[in-house]
Amino acid sequence: MTKQPAPGEATPARVRVDGLDIQVSVRGSGPPLLLIMGLGGNLGMWEPLERELVARGLRTISFDAPGTGGSSGWRVPRRMPAIARVVERLLTALGEEQVDVLGVSLGGAIAQQLAHQAPDRVGRLVLAATMPGIGGVPGSPAVLLKMSTPRRYHDPEYFRAVAAELYGGRSRLGGPSAMHPLSRFARPPTWNGYLQQLYAIQGWSSVPWLYRLPQPTLVISGDDDPIVPLINGRILAWLIPRARLHVVRGGGHLFLLEEPATSAVEIAQFLQDRSGPAPSRASGSSPQLRDQTTLHHRREDRT
């Protein structure tokens, strides 16, 4: 008899999509939330946040991007539309007609592309620590140079040496969530897979079509993120019609890992609030955003 996973435990699977073997993990029960990880990351890195989301009534679906974690990679690199198409076909293979989507960093760019080219497959959208590509404001050249190789996934000592400068937030204080994510090193990305992800994002921009995204959208950005400066969250929230911005005070690039419980509260409240549409520019927005401070997070809603 096959042992059934305990409530909240992950159910792993491998799914064949477009000639690739994609590693997938499903956890919990309830409305589905697709999680799209950032550059070089693997699905195991989602676990702290997943457990918090599952405890709040959501079912999480995570996967390893081609060439990362347990997923096979392409022989020839692909652009963002092709990656989003793989995600869409993965949903079809899993029998998911429509899901809410949370993307972080590069995963947030993929989430934008998916919402654009397959809008009927995405219910609500959460964009964390991400940007619109060309038209956004990149981090400093020194920070981006450290992102050019996957060394921080292969060498724990190197990761500890560069974490503060690279990720900001609690990494500057040596916080345990940021400094000791064992899943980061358990399944590092292949060099080829990592470089293909970098290739996919080069020259990409969502700016020309963000104004057409129909999904209610929550943009979450840290105000101490060296990789994706806060201004990018403001740009996304300004250009997406049904979006609002939530600022994580003191949050770096890894705020979802550093504050999984607090992050999950904000995400779950947004996804589960179906009482009406998200705020939109049409309802009377302004570049001046009103701040409301609660604990570690500051929410900026259009008023």
Phi, psi (degrees; rounded to nearest 5) at 118: -140, 60
Selecting among 62, 71, 105, 206, the annotated active-site residue is 105
Strands 10-17 and 20-27: antiparallel
Give percent helix, percent strand, percent coil of the chain, each to the nearest 5. 40, 20, 40
**Residues written for the chain:** 303
Burial class (CB in 10 A: 0-12, 13-18, 19+), 284: exposed
Phi, psi (degrees; rounded to nearest 5) at 210: -60, -35
Q: Measured in whole angstroms, how far is the alpha carbon of residue 160 from the centre of its chain?
A: 22
Which residues of 5-120 form beta strands (DSSP E)? 10-17, 20-27, 32-36, 59-63, 99-104
Query: What does the alpha-carbon distance between residue 113 and residue 187 come to, in Å, rounded to a whole number?
Result: 26
Look up 105 and say whether it is catalytic: yes
Catalytically active residues, by annotation: 105
